[in-house]
Structure 1
Amino acid sequence: MAEKNLSQRDKKHLWHPLTQHKLHSNMLGIVKAKGALLYDEDSKEYIDGIASWYTCMYGHCNDYIVHKTYEQMQTLDQVVFSGFTHEPAVLLSEALMKILPENQEKIFFSDNGSTSNEIAIKMALQYHFNLGNKRNVMLAFEDGFHGDTFGAMSVSGLSVYNGPFEDFFIEVERIPVPTEENIDSIIRNLLTRLKKADIAGFIYEPLVQGAAAMKMHDGDGLSKILTVLKQHNVITIADEVMTGFGKTGKNFASDYIPVKPDVLCMSKALTAGLVPMAITSCTQKIYDAFYSDEISKGLFHGHTYTANPIACTAALAGIELLQSKEMQQNIERIVLSHQKFNEEIKNHPKVATTRQCGVIFALDLNVKMERYGNLRDKLFHYFMDNGVFLRPLGNTIYILAPYVVSKEQMQKIYNTIKGVLEII
């Protein structure tokens, strides 16, 4: 049996993401996960209130997904996807076309959300380059987050992550997220700016900006922005890495918006949290700009584990579960549960605002806090001490639990949030 006290052993060699180790050196050792629960090495259980960064939406170690991937492991584990193909990839492409926005036709595999966005940005830039209309500027929302590779960082607006690297970014301009009050101004400014004809693409998180503390915006306004951009041949890129696969109440947040993206990025819940994989889908129009007798016009981007058969199988199983009657009922139950909780909590003196989109619920505390600071840490430890894993973003507390979370587990999450309001 492995030696206990993972936290102490961890310190010797491991470097964790989004962590200043001089301030936060103790990592909790997790040894098991099942359904909506995590278990530490002392057998304490925690309700995973954020589905481990929005991945394990059908529950940890889901029996159906584990069984399907185990079967695949016996047949084909990995093969190069350049010059070869295989049934899991073909089946996944067919399954995705049934649930993606109707204009999507082609899919390109990679290995995480950041690279799915990186590829989308390259598609937008090279699309114009291939057509002989070189455009060098990307457009993005303020406070957006699209990943940690250089192109994805460039279009992200959260400088807490990007500060040391900004001198190396591609050229990006930002616009505010749309509201009823500002949409007319946004459109006027866009029409003026688009006259230069140098904007290649626009990347956006539809309806919900995850890393910006679940900031939500107006779908009608977004539709107007997309309409104008498409009229000026700006490639529109929906980053659905966080929002995809049912979290907003529909398969994709783009399903709420009449104007569909040219490119759509997905990861996280794509493989149900079992193994890493990402996909960038696009329209036939985008693909055709790369289809040429000139080799240099191809999209020369590749990953060793592109379209890994096991990851494709996990994604296929996840899509089957998403479309099942049971999972759709679970999603509806969580949506209604959040609505009821909102009525209970929205007028609390410590709550500034609340918002919801599908199974995503967020509230802002009526307290000023740093994104990473002592008060935020106090909230986090209160949740963990009470057996609930929630990860506050500054003064925002949000819930994005697995679809399989029980009514009792969800109520414990709500009760713990109510409890934290009494200690701040």
Structure 2
Amino acid sequence: MRQVGSVLWPRLRVLQVYGANTGVGKTIFSSILCRAFLKRFPKVHYLKPISTGPQDEADDRHLSTLSKNVRAKCLYQFADPVSPHIAARSSKESTSNDDIRAAVHDELRSYANGEDGVAVVETAGGVLSPAPSGSSQADLYRPLRLPVFLVGDHQLGGIGTTISAWESLHIRGYDVQSVALFAESRYDNHSYLKDYFAERDIHAFSVPPPPERHSSNAEDARAMQQYYEEISASSSVQSYAAKFVEDHAKRVDDLQAISTEAVEAIWHPFMQHSERSKDTITTIDSAYGDYFATHTTQQAAVTAQDPQASLIRPAFDASASWWTQGLGHGNPHLALTAAHAAGRYGHVMFASAVHEPALRLAQTLLANMGNPRLSKVFYTDNGSAGMEVAVKMGIRAAAARNGWSADEDIVILGLKGSYHGDTMGTMDCSEPSIYNKKEPWYTGRGQWLDFPQVKMRKSRWIVEAPEELEGVFGEARTFDSLDDIFDFEKRKVDSDMYRAYCDARLADLEKKGSKFGALVIEPILLGAGGMMFADPLFQRCLVDSVRGSSHNAQTSTDDLNWTGMPVICDEIFTGLYRLGRFSASKSFLGIDADIVANAKLLTGGVLPLCTTTASQAIFDAFVSDNKTDALLHGHSYTAHPVGCSVANESLKKTMKLDRGGAWDRFKQPWRASGSETLGAWSMWSEAFIKAVSQRSQVESVFALGSVLAISLKDPDGKSYASKAAYEMRDKLLAGGPDEEWVIHSRVLGNVWYAMAAMTTTKETIESLEEKIYAALE
């Protein structure tokens, strides 16, 4: 599948001309600019991607006739003089956004031949006028993110339309370099707009309007020729031309220098800086949809050898930007939602107050989790903070019920390889690991059980026990399908064995005097610990053991109250459709957790926000007449209204994808033969993961929802410190010299993983699968 993104050539300067409205003179300004650039460069190109109306009235014809030496071309010409979305209906030519962007990219690339030149790309109509597909022009061309020259509206009401056009471009991530319009004396829009944009550090200027039309075509042509010659040579236009050239050179220089400067100023997360250099840092110039627009020193070397190679290259965001990206980068719906909330609220304090976005988000979560226990939503800024609150809730509730004092050693029960955040409190909720054991304050306040894992090896689904359980579990189980693993009723032997094991471990820990404040688990997938797919039946049995345990003497007969100890589900990563379902704990494990934390996909990757949702029983443990019994926890940005608003929109869009059948093309191949119900499914095809599992260097692989994880064999053993997956990561990022796009990924020791957005197309996934499979050769 072709992927066209942002482009930047050192010697070809590209400018996109937008109009604030129809009839504002885009073609006239394009002609002026082309002539002005001809005074500086030997080659100037004019490109009109889409044009409607008779050929003899086409804008590229106007340029060819009145601006000699300008190479003019139109890519899509529709004879009917109506909006492109109507004109394209009768066309037999493919006019999808992808096709149009690819055609524009290919045409511009053909101009980049190593010689200095300029290309002026003129749009049709106004900024938000429909493209042939029906989407706005601003959204059609946004992935290219070309620098913009905005032609303002000199007519009555033009001040408002010009500012609105600029805001529409600005909110979509365009760089509007300059605004220009005719100096129409009656309305004097140009004077106001020049001052308005100067305050925003945007260059603005005006030129005299063109001469009145003559009765003779020949006279009219001569008058326009003279007008173009005079205006293109004027100081205001030449000043802009010089600025455009300087801005292009600065953009190239800044892009190539940023990784070097970052080495001096930035402390990167999760990186050993002795291995860092400008050559190992990827500069991300922008992002749109599934892709980053990236620059590397390697790409600069390629561009130096091949003038048609852009300094910027699309790279699929395989980590979904640390698992947060869900509806595509630069999503205009989320951007507009954020802007509206920022304009309505900014940020407002949340103590003893409420605002509608926070209320609606809480109601949406409670209504869709399917968990009758949950009744209250607490807001924090990020996943680590949200899990700190969750653990605080659980431990305080357990202490209150069991009569434990504050100085007693209360710990959590969890799983080995778990990870719940980088704050000092959440680090203590994980066993000693590369993340925490070198921290002087780390104490590891818990007990952690090992667990069987789900994998595909040599085309067979298996459940494999760790060494700790081998004596109980025996040899690995094999299954015909992923659904069979989730069919708990058919796995009664495993269920009885797991339950007996968990009961025995809990009893043993009870004898040793452990006081557990909560069970804390990541449902299904343990993410940062190495993308480990826990046997869901084991997690289910562990919860049943905890709730059936006599460990904590005080119990409850209320079905909505906790027994044994509170169960906390960390769904920061696995919740909100990352695995294909709204709630991982409810839908996969069939449990009603007492506390659930959600973040990551909550806001579609736009803003940091976390919710910690608790049962009424947990909430009631903090209610008394004493202020010190309250949950005295909060953040300056608690329930940030912009974040809450974006979360509402993000969940609305994602639930619509789920209910509207957007994922049916992914789901259908996973449906068991003859079955009317759908179990577990993935955006990655089972045929692909079976093929990957046969590769000689692959230890195992699995896919679930949008997640793909490939464990590579490492002769030095498995650990987060392993470098076994580095080669694959680097190979996919480097790509081949002729590859239009590459893959940007993260690794977890010997595990290379990828995850799609919830909007990623099947065609994109298929292209990714081809690249990944080839990288394993």
State the TM-score, normalizing by the size of structure 1: 0.93
Matches of 1:206 and 1:366, distance apart in 2: 26
Q: CA deviation at 1:167?
A: 4.8
Q: Per-residue deviation at 1:57?
A: 1.1
What is the distance in 2 between the residues matched to 1:359 and 1:75?
34
Q: 1:129 aligns with which of 392, 399, 417?
A: 399
CA contact under 8 A between 1:113 and 1:266: conserved in structure 2? yes
The structure showing larger relative contact order (alpha-carbon pairs under 8 Å, at least 6 residues apart) is 1
Look up the match of 1:188. 504
More off after superposition, 342-351 vs 103-112:
342-351
Residues 127-151 of structure 1: per-residue CA shift (max 9 Å, x gap): 1333452261111100111110112
Match of 1:338 among 675, 680, 685: 685
C-alpha distance in 1, partners of 2:642/2:725?
Answer: 38
Helix, strand or coil for the counterpart of 1:147?
Answer: coil
What do residues 103-136 of structure 1 show as CA deviations (whole Å, max 9, x unaligned)? 2111111111111111111111211333452261
The answer as to whether partners of 1:47 and 1:409 remain within 8 angstroms in 2 is no
Please state if 1:376 is matched with 2:725: yes
Query: Residue 397 of structure 2 aligns to which amino acid in structure 1?
Result: Y
1:115 aligned residue (382, 385, 398)? 385
- In 2 relative to 1, CA 218–328 (structure 1 residues): closer, same or farther, beyond 3 Å? farther
Does the alignment pair 1:251 with 2:582? yes
267, 278, 286: which is aligned to 1:15? 267
Cα distance, 1:347–1:258 mapped onto 2, change above 3 Å: same
Where in structure 2 are the equivalents of 1:11-410 lying within 5 Å? Answer: 11-26=263-278, 27-41=281-295, 42-102=311-371, 103-131=373-401, 133-134=403-404, 136-157=410-431, 159-165=433-439, 167-169=441-443, 171-178=445-452, 181=473, 183=498, 184-194=500-510, 196=513, 198-232=515-549, 233-254=564-585, 255-325=587-657, 329-334=661-666, 335=682, 337-368=684-715, 371-372=720-721, 375-386=724-735, 387-410=742-765
Distance, in Å, in 2 between the alignment partners of 1:375 and 1:176 is 23
Work out the percentage of aligned pairs sharing the same amino acid: 25
Out of 359-368 and 141-150, give the one that drifted further: 359-368
Q: Using the alignment, how far apart are the partners of 1:158 and 1:382 within structure 2? A: 32
Once the two structures are superposed, residues 361-382 of structure 1 have per-residue CA deviations (whole angstroms, 9 ceiling, x without a partner) of: 2222234366345543322211
AA at the equivalent of 1:231: G
8 Å CA contact 1:353–1:363 kept in 2: the answer is: yes
- 1:405 is paired with a residue whose SS is coil
The one-letter amino acid paired with 1:163 is K
Q: Is the 1:271–1:277 Cα contact (8 Å) retained in structure 2?
A: yes
Contact 2:431–2:444 at 8 Å: present in 1 too? no
SS in 1 for 2:328: coil
Partners in 2 of 1:371 and 1:330 — Cα distance? 36
Q: Kindly indicate whether the alpha-carbon contact (under 8 Å) linking 2:529 and 2:720 is maintained by their aligned counterparts in 1.
A: no
Alpha-carbon distance in 2 for matches of 1:273, 1:336? 19
Contact 2:430 2:446 in 1 (8 A): no
- CA gap of 1:131–1:170, structure 2 versus 1, over 3 A, is farther
Judge conservation of contact 2:729–2:745 (CA < 8 Å) in 1. Answer: yes
Distance 1:379 1:152, change over 3 A: same
Query: Which stretch shifts more, 256-265 or 2-11?
Result: 2-11
**One-letter identity of the residue aligned with 1:270:** L
Contact 1:271 1:315 survives alignment (8 Å):
yes
User: 1:79 corresponds to which letter in structure 2?
Assistant: V
Preserved contact between residue 176 and residue 186 of structure 1 (Cα < 8 Å): no
Which of 4-13 and 80-89 deviates more? Answer: 4-13
Whether contact under 8 Å (1:249, 1:332) holds in the other structure is no
Please identify, of 217-226 and 144-153, the stretch whose mean Cα deviation from structure 2 is larger: 217-226
Which range is displaced more, 343-352 or 69-78?
343-352
Aligned-partner residue type, residue 107 of structure 1? V
Q: In 1, Cα distance between the equivalents of 2:325 and 2:659?
A: 13
Query: In the aligned structure 1, how far is the partner of 2:287 from the partner of 2:384?
Result: 25
Task: Provide Cα deviations, 1:336-385, integer angstroms capped at 9, x if missing partner.
Answer: 54323113222222222122222222222234366345543322211111
Deviation >4 Å, runs of 4+: 372-375
Contact 1:249 1:331 in 2 (8 A): no
Looking at CA atoms only, which structure, 1 or 2, has the larger radius of gyration? 2
Change (3 A) 1:164 1:372: closer
| 8 Å contact kept, 1:139–1:172 | yes
Deviations 1:240-266 (A, max 9, x none): 011011011211211212222111111
CA displacement 1:243-300 (0-9 Å, x = unmatched): 0110112112112122221111111111111011111111111001111111111011
Q: TM-score, normalised by structure 2?
A: 0.52
SS of 1:65's equivalent? helix
Deviation of residue 221 (structure 1)? 1.9
Q: In structure 2, do the counterparts of structure 1 residues 327 and 70 end up closer, same or farther at CA, with 3 Å as the change threshold?
A: farther
In 2, the alpha carbon distance for the partners of 1:338 and 1:76 equals: 44
Secondary structure at the residue paired with 2:508? helix
Give the Cα–Cα distance (whole angstroms) in 2 for the partners of residues 17 and 328 of structure 1.
38
CA distance in 1, matches of 2:659, 2:440: 42
Q: 2: CA distance between counterparts of 1:377 and 1:197?
A: 41
Q: Alignment RMSD, CA only? A: 2.1
| Secondary structure of 1:117's aligned partner | helix
Q: Secondary structure at the match of 2:575?
A: coil
Write the distance in 2 (CA, Å) between the matches of 1:173 and 1:166: 20
> Partners in 1 of 2:516 and 2:723 — Cα distance?
41
Change (3 A) 1:357 1:374: closer
Q: Are the aligned partners of 1:137 and 1:172 in contact in 2 as well (CA < 8 Å)?
A: yes
- Name the CA shift for 1:326/1:263 in 2 (closer, same or farther; >3 Å): closer
Q: Distance in 1 between matches of 2:583 and 2:747?
A: 24
The offset of 1:328, in angstroms, is 6.1
Q: Residue 397 of structure 2 contacts residue 622 of structure 2 at CA under 8 Å; is this kept in 1?
A: yes
- Does the Cα contact within 8 Å between 2:654 and 2:758 map onto a contact in 1? no
For structure 2, which runs of at least 5 residues remain unmatched after alignment? 1-246, 296-310, 454-462, 464-472, 474-496, 550-563, 667-681, 736-741
CA pair 45-323 structure 1, distance change in 2 beyond 3 A: same
- State the number of aligned residues: 422
Read off the aligned partner of 1:52 and give its amino acid letter.
S
2 CA distance for matches of 1:309 and 1:333? Answer: 36
Map Cα deviations across residues 218-253 of structure 1 (whole Å, 9 max, x no partner): 222211211221234211110101101101121121
Q: Structure 1: which amino acid aligns with 2:570?
A: D
Distance 1:163 1:203 in 2: 19
Q: How much does 1:175 deviate?
A: 0.9
